[in-house]
């Protein structure tokens, strides 16, 4: 069985992943990056929380550039990495994740993007699957806004919850 650390090591950098996309797919990633760079895309409170994250985290992401959810949420995941230097990101293919993670994690299938949050020792802490919880709960009513990039902060908040939970003392 391939270790999480080995999977992380064979994964690719986000920009390498993006470079394999078709022009329209790459354009979507660049649009999301521009939105994230905008001053009101992520609130100052959320940005402060992100910058205050303690510990090192490895984000092992499974994705494909043809996937609209990957174009959005892996771009946000890369934003986390660029904003907080204690976070690292490595992207593997869906098929590699199906082979290496599905059974190990007891999943029926790998929905993408699939981001396994690992601690400094490459132990699993949590996961982000496909889209933020606010989008899942909102259903079809929020899909257009989600695709337009109006839920980018929701992805950050879902990931922050995992990071922060990792350092919450047990009661």
d(CA 62, CA 55): 23
Architecture of domain 4-165: 3-Layer(aba) Sandwich (3.40)
Q: What is the pLDDT of residues 46-92, one digit of tens each?
A: 999 999 998 999 999 999 999 999 999 999 999 999 999 999 999 99
Rounded to whole angstroms, how far apart are CA atoms 94 and 113?
8
Q: Where are the domains of the chain?
A: 4-165
- Tens digits of per-residue pLDDT, 24-43? 999 999 999 999 998 788 99
pLDDT in tens, 113-122: 999 999 999 9
CA-CA-CA-CA torsion sign (158, 156, 76, 124): negative
Top-ranked range on mean pLDDT: pick from 63-67, 142-146, 167-171: 63-67
């Amino acid at each position: 069985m391939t270790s999480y650390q080995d999977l992380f090591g064979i994964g690719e950098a986000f920009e390498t992943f993006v470079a394999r996309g078709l022009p329209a797919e790459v354009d979507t990633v660049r649009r999301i990056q521009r939105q994230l760079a905008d001053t009101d895309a992520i609130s100052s409170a959320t940005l402060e929380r992100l910058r205050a994250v303690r510990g090192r985290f490895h984000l092992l992401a499974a994705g494909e550039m043809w996937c609209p959810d990957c174009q959005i949420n892996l771009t946000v995941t890369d934003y986390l990495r660029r904003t907080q230097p204690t976070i690292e990101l490595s992207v593997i293919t869906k098929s590699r994740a199906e082979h290496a993670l599905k059974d190990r994690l007891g999943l029926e299938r790998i929905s993408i993007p699939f981001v396994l949050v690992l601690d400094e020792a490459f132990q699993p802490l949590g996961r982000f699957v496909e889209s933020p919880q606010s989008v899942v709960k909102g259903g079809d009513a929020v899909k257009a806004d989600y695709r337009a990039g109006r839920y980018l902060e929701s992805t950050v908040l879902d990931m922050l919850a995992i990071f922060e939970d990792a350092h919450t003392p047990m009661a």
